[in-house]
Amino acid sequence: MSTPLWLNQGSLVLASNNKGKIAEFDHLFQQLNLPVEIIPQGKLNIEDAIEDGLSFVENAIIKARHASKLSGKPAIADDSGLCVPILGGAPGIYSARYAGEHGNDAANNQKLLADLTPFRKDGEVIEGMFVCVLALVTHAEDPLPQIFQGIWKGEILQAARGENGFGYDPLFWVAERNCSSAELSKEEKSKISHRGKAMQLFKASLI
């Protein structure tokens, strides 16, 4: 397979201003050891795009095109969130602003717990899944964005546990590790998370 053209351009813009997300991507990209500089869009004074899509895929593409248009460089964007089937898939694409204020993790977690209260039954788990969709565009008008999707299934706890991670990590129970996502180390999480799985598919596309 020939080398992707964007790899020869020297840099790739990461279309995010979320500190927690940027930290995770920094760790994941270090493992890939790509011959390009990964530049968070904030370093280029690029503000967040208006996410008015109705799916993770749509919003990831919107963000990638936005960053690519304003930077003139190839861009990769992540749209991710928590989906709880019993809530019809909510918070879904609205995960970061579920309680109204964008990025207020504590409020979002409290709203999720409150919304799940009527569904709690003794001895029954409430399933949830983290979803990550990566969209890579070589330029703003790229007619064929590359899409990489990762899904991480777990359970929703009744109370927060752990201090690591961000977002809904303290409420996401990882049965195979017998801990919450917020109790995993950065290294452990990157191996099994939705973002880690999407990045593995991204890595495979480069081979």
pLDDT tens by residue, 125-151: 999 999 999 999 999 999 999 999 999
* CA 21 and chain centroid, separation: 7
Question: Residue 177 is part of a domain; what is its CATH number?
Answer: 3.90.950.10
The pLDDT of residue 23: 86
Predicted TM-score (pTM) of this structure = 0.90
The pLDDT of residue 9: 76
Which residues constitute the domain of residue 163?
Answer: 5-205
Quote the number of domains for the chain: 1
On whether the CB atoms of residues 108 and 84 are closer than 8 A, the answer is: no
Catalytic residue (one of 79, 105, 142, 169): 79
Average pLDDT for 166-193? 94
78 is catalytic: no
Average pLDDT for 99-103? 89
Does the structure show a pLDDT above 70 at 34? yes
